[in-house]
Amino acid sequence: MLASINWLKKYVEIPVTPEVLADKLTRVGLEVEQVLHLGEGIDGVITGKVVTIERHPDSDHLWVCQMDLGKGDTVQILTGAQNVHQGDVVPVAQVGSHLPNGMELKPVKMRGLDSNGMLCSAGELGIDAKLLLPEQRDGIFILPVDTPLGADIKAVLGLDDVVLDIDLTANRGDCFNMLGLARECAAVLGTKLTLPDYAPESGEGTPASDRATVDIVASDVCSRFGLRMIENLEIKESPEWMQKLLRAVNIRPINNVVDVTNYVMMELGQPMHAYDYDKVAGHHWVVRRAHEGENLKTLDGQDRALSPEMIVIGDNEKGIGLGGIMGGFETEVTGATKTVMLEAATFNGPTIRRTSKALGLRSEASQRFERGVDTILNHNALNRAIYLLEQMGAGKAVPGVAECYPVPEKPVEIKAAPTKLAARIGCDIDAATMKAILENLDFTVEEKGEDSWVVTVPTWRKDCDCSADLSEEVARMYGYDKIESKTPELNMARGGQDPIEDVKDMIRDTLTGIGLDEVMTYSFYNAQVFDNLGLPADDSRRKALQIINPISDDFRTIRTTLTPCLLSAVAYNQARQSERTAIFEVGRVFIPKALPLTDFPEEKMVLAIAMSGKRNPLSWNTDKDAVDFYDIKGALEEVMNSLQVRGLSYGPTEEVFLHPGKSCAISYEGKVIGFMGAIHPTVQDRFGLGAETYVLEVEIAPFVKSAEEIPQFIHVPQFPSVSRDIAVVVKADVPASELEAEIRKEGGSLLVDVRIFDVYTGKQVKSGYKSVAFNLTFQDVTRTLQDKDVDDVIKQIVANVQDKFGGMLRD
**Residue 450: what pLDDT?**
87
Strands (E), 553-651: 557-558, 580-591, 602-613, 649-651
**Residue 489: what pLDDT?**
67
**Residue 373: what pLDDT?**
93
With CA atoms as reference, report the closest residue to 499 among 673, 712, 706, 713. 706
CATH tag, 208-404: 3.50.40.10
With CA atoms as reference, report the closest residue to 206 among 274, 283, 281. 283
**Please, what is the Cα angle at 133 between 129 and 135, to 5 degrees?**
100
pLDDT at 684 over 80: yes
- Residue 269: phi and psi, rounded to 5, are 90, 5
Contacts (Cβ under 8 Å, ≥6 apart) of 508: 518, 586
CATH tag, 722-809: 3.30.70.380
Q: Is 210 annotated as ligand-binding?
A: no
Tell me the percentage of the chain whose pLDDT exceeds 90.
80
CA dist 627 and 420 (Å) reads: 59
* Burial class of 135 by CB neighbour count within 10 A (0 to 12, 13 to 18, 19+): exposed
pLDDT digits 0-9 by tens, 333-378: 999 999 999 999 999 998 999 999 999 888 889 999 999 999 999 9
Q: Which CATH architecture has domain 43-157?
A: Beta Barrel (2.40)
pLDDT at 319 over 70: yes
Q: Is 738 annotated as ligand-binding?
A: no
At 506, the amino acid letter reads M
Q: Is 31 annotated as ligand-binding?
A: no
Q: Is 473 annotated as ligand-binding?
A: yes
pLDDT digits 0-9 by tens, 176-189: 999 999 999 999 99
**CATH class of the 2-38+162-189 domain in this structure:** alpha beta
Q: Do domains 208-404 and 413-482 have the same CATH topology?
A: no
**Chain-centre distance of CA 680, in angstroms?**
36
**Residue 490: what pLDDT?**
64
pLDDT digits 0-9 by tens, 228-270: 999 999 999 999 999 999 999 999 999 999 999 999 999 999 9
Q: Give me the helix-helix angle, 256-268 and 240-248, nearest 10°.
A: 50
The CATH fold assigned to 413-482 is Phenylalanyl-tRNA Synthetase; Chain B, domain 1 (3.30.56)
pLDDT at 164 over 90: yes
Helix H or strand E segment including 805: helix 787-805
Say how many C-beta atoms besides its own lie within 10 A of residue 534's C-beta: 14
CA dist 365 and 173 (Å) reads: 12
Q: For the chain, how far is it from start to end, CA to CA, in angstroms?
A: 90
Predicted confidence band of residue 492 (pLDDT cuts 50, 70, 90): low
Structural contact between residues 552 and 485, judged by C-beta atoms closer than 8 angstroms: no
Per-residue b or e along 287-326, where b marks 16 or more CB atoms closer than 10 Å to that residue's CB? bbbbeeebebebbeeeebebeeebbbbbbeeebbbbbbbb
With CA atoms as reference, report the closest residue to 650 among 678, 672, 631. 672
Task: List the strands of the sheet with 2-4, edge to edge.
Answer: 2-4, 162-167, 31-37
pLDDT at 563 over 90: yes
With CA atoms as reference, report the closest residue to 506 among 714, 704, 711, 710. 704
Helix H or strand E segment including 222: strand 222-231
pLDDT digits 0-9 by tens, 719-752: 999 999 999 999 998 888 889 989 999 999 999 9
Tell which CATH classification among 3.55.30.10, 1.10.10.60, 3.40.50.2000, 3.30.930.10 matches the domain 499-708: 3.30.930.10
CA dist 383 and 380 (Å) reads: 5
Strand partners, 314: 286, 319
Domain boundaries, the chain: 2-38+162-189, 43-157, 208-404, 413-482, 499-708, 722-809
Distances (CA, A) of 343 to 4, 124, 273, 346, 631: 26, 39, 5, 10, 65
pLDDT at 488 over 70: no
CA dist 110 and 116 (Å) reads: 11
With CA atoms as reference, report the closest residue to 39 among 105, 98, 119. 98
pLDDT digits 0-9 by tens, 758-788: 999 988 898 999 999 999 999 998 899 999 9
Strand 580-591 versus strand 517-518 pairing type: parallel
CA dist 739 and 729 (Å) reads: 11
Contacts (Cβ under 8 Å, ≥6 apart) of 528: none
pLDDT at 68 over 80: yes
Predicted confidence band of residue 616 (pLDDT cuts 50, 70, 90): confident
Say how many C-beta atoms besides its own lie within 10 A of residue 265's C-beta: 23
CA dist 367 and 324 (Å) reads: 9
Q: DSSP 3-state assignment of 156?
A: helix
Tell me the percentage of the chain whose pLDDT exceeds 70.
99
Q: Which residue would you say has higher pLDDT here, 506 or 596?
A: 506
**Residue 640: what pLDDT?**
95
**Residue 314: what pLDDT?**
96
DSSP state of 193: B
Q: DSSP 3-state assignment of 92?
A: strand
pLDDT digits 0-9 by tens, 506-521: 999 999 999 999 999 9
Q: DSSP 3-state assignment of 627?
A: coil
Structural contact between residues 559 and 544, judged by C-beta atoms closer than 8 angstroms: yes
Structural contact between residues 212 and 228, judged by C-beta atoms closer than 8 angstroms: no
CA dist 711 and 163 (Å) reads: 73
DSSP state of 328: B
User: 190 — alpha (psi -120 to 50), left (phi > 0) or beta?
Assistant: left
DSSP state of 512: H
When the pLDDT of each residue in the chain is averaged and rounded to a whole number, the result is 92
- Summarize the confidence of residues 29-46 as an average pLDDT: 94
CA dist 335 and 420 (Å) reads: 60
pLDDT at 639 over 90: yes
Strands (E), 337-407: 340-347, 396-397, 402-404
CA dist 334 and 329 (Å) reads: 11
DSSP calls for 595-620? SS--SPPEEEEEEEEEEEEBSS-S-T
pLDDT digits 0-9 by tens, 265-313: 999 999 999 999 999 999 999 999 999 999 999 998 999 999 999 999 9
Length of the chain: 811
CA dist 465 and 413 (Å) reads: 8
Q: Which residue would you say has higher pLDDT here, 112 or 562?
A: 562
Structural contact between residues 5 and 163, judged by C-beta atoms closer than 8 angstroms: yes
- Summarize the confidence of residues 446-453 as an average pLDDT: 90
With CA atoms as reference, report the closest residue to 183 among 448, 778, 191, 563. 191
Contacts (Cβ under 8 Å, ≥6 apart) of 714: none
**Residue 449: what pLDDT?**
85
Question: SS3 helix, strand, coil % of the chain, rounded to 5?
Answer: 30, 30, 40
CA dist 10 and 454 (Å) reads: 33
**Please, what is the Cα angle at 724 between 721 and 725, to 5 degrees?**
150
Dihedral of the alpha carbons of 266, 272, 276, 282, in degrees to the nearest 10: -170
CA dist 520 and 372 (Å) reads: 34
With CA atoms as reference, report the closest residue to 563 among 533, 531, 539. 533
CA dist 349 and 371 (Å) reads: 6
With CA atoms as reference, report the closest residue to 689 among 575, 772, 798. 575
CA dist 23 and 34 (Å) reads: 11
